[in-house]
Copies of this chain bind each other. A is one copy, B any other.
């Protein structure tokens, strides 16, 4: 929720400004990762003009407060829905419609840690993206094939 993020800003002593609310609203409404310039374009379509520098700075802040994530593959930003589960960030990205869903799994993290330890590597952060088809797109794809 946008309201929760505003709470975080306030309790951490950051001002709740118009630009920050606007960026929050955009991230909240988006089903896909957005670049800073994506966000600027979307806002402009609503008649709202934000300087790109401001958007960069707001996104930096949001990431530092774990209100948003910067994605591995594209560099796009998404609102954070799970908080920082001990430095683990996992996403499912549909390569057909672009929608994204965040998830977490303690078991995966453990297995990953064990495995990398065999290489004498001490893992602290996990980043992963599983790309494929969301349920909707899988159904559509399947129908198409069936009709052929």
Contact = CB atoms under 8 A, between A and B. Distances in A.
Interface of A: 72-73, 75, 92, 94-95, 101, 103, 105, 107-108, 111-112, 115-116, 119-135, 138
B129 A127 contact: yes
**Which of A111, A121, A129, A134 has the most C-beta atoms of chain B within 10 angstroms of its own C-beta?**
A121
A72 B127 CA distance: 9
B121 A125 contact: no
A121 B108 contact: no
**Which of A72, A101, A107, A134 has the most C-beta atoms of chain B within 10 angstroms of its own C-beta?**
A72
Contact of A131 (B120, B124, B134): B124
What are the 3 tightest A-B residue pairs by CB atom distance, in nearest-first order?
A72-B72, A120-B135, A128-B128
Contacts of A128: 112, 126-129
Given A72-B72, A75-B75, A116-B132, A95 B108 contact: no
Given A73-B127, A130-B126, A131-B125, A115 B105 contact: yes
A124 B130 CA distance: 7
A103 to B, nearest CB: 7
A119 B103 contact: yes
Given A92-B123, A122-B133, 12 more contacts: A72-B127, A92-B121, A101-B119, A103-B115, A112-B130, A121-B130, A121-B132, A123-B130, A124-B132, A127-B130, A127-B131, A128-B129
